[in-house]
Chains A and B, each alone.
Chain A
Amino acid sequence: MVYLKDNNSPQQKSAFKLISSFLPEDYELFLSSLTIDEYLHSSLFILKHHKIPVPERFKKVFEALKTILDLQHLKIVNPSDSKENNLKIVDIMQNFNLNPRDAYHFLTMQENDIHEFATFDNDFKEVFTKKYLKHSE
């Protein structure tokens, strides 16, 4: 999402190609509150770096987020509130060498029956290698 929005990013083209390939008739897209948090943090960091005044920063990220959330075939998913499932986090961290936050991304996908993950994050290498998720890139 960050790359799709950044006109000067060398990754914009591949982000565009990737997201454009997720056609509404074939795919359902999912974001979690955690991924939205990461998107907001990164975007605000870039805007701050450009010395964009604070109110304008928030206006820009709001508009950018809205265009993404407006996608018809996009849903927001989150990890369940089950204590039992939240206990799985430690096992996931250990088995896949993930930090707690990334382990929550993985748990969220498992609980919501999501099998494909679009990320540039190398920390999920073991998850992809062990074929628990398909890597879209």
Chain B
Amino acid sequence: MNINDVQPISTKQLRETMPSIKERLLAGESFYWIDRSKPIGMIKPLEPKRKAPMNANEYRQHIRKIAGGINSKKPLSPKELNRLLDKRYEEMLSGQ
């Protein structure tokens, strides 16, 4: 969520304009709740309802579609991949 998309709202505004706040919330807006000049919380909409899950065929087609995109000259084996990540980890530990 981009901080600029979140509107500040005071306790007084909340109390006095609840119906319009509710409408704006349902339309997807989020708010910082400011009480006595201090932010004390956030009011944000729940996640939108999920779409119906793909069936098995649609899902396989989707995975086929998203597979690929990288063509390595020398593919990494699982062992080499683990070694690469372990090496990086060791580098991080030694501060390299």
- Chain A residues with CB under 8 Å of chain B are 2, 4-12, 16, 19-20, 23-25, 38, 41-43, 45-47, 49-50, 60, 63-64, 67-68, 71-73, 99, 101, 120-123
User: A residues within 8 A CB of B85?
Assistant: 38, 41-42
Is the Cβ of B70 less than 8 Å from the Cβ of A60? yes
Q: List 15 A-B contacts (CB under 8 A).
A: A4-B66, A5-B67, A5-B68, A5-B70, A6-B72, A7-B67, A19-B63, A20-B59, A23-B59, A24-B53, A24-B54, A25-B53, A41-B88, A64-B70, A121-B82
Chain B's nearest CB lies how many Å from the CB of A19?
5
User: A residues within 8 A CB of B55?
Assistant: 25
Q: Does B78 contact A (CB under 8 A)?
A: yes
Is the Cβ of B53 less than 8 Å from the Cβ of A73? yes
For B, the interface residue count at a CB cutoff of 8 angstroms equals 32
User: B residues within 8 A CB of A73?
Assistant: 53
User: A residues within 8 A CB of B56?
Assistant: 23, 25
User: A residues within 8 A CB of B63?
Assistant: 4, 16, 19-20
Which of A5, A8, A20, A122 has a CB less than 8 Å from the CB of B60?
A20
Is the Cβ of A6 less than 8 Å from the Cβ of B89? no
Cα A49 to Cα B75 with chains together (Å): 11
Chain A's nearest CB lies how many Å from the CB of B18?
32
Is the Cβ of A46 less than 8 Å from the Cβ of B78? no
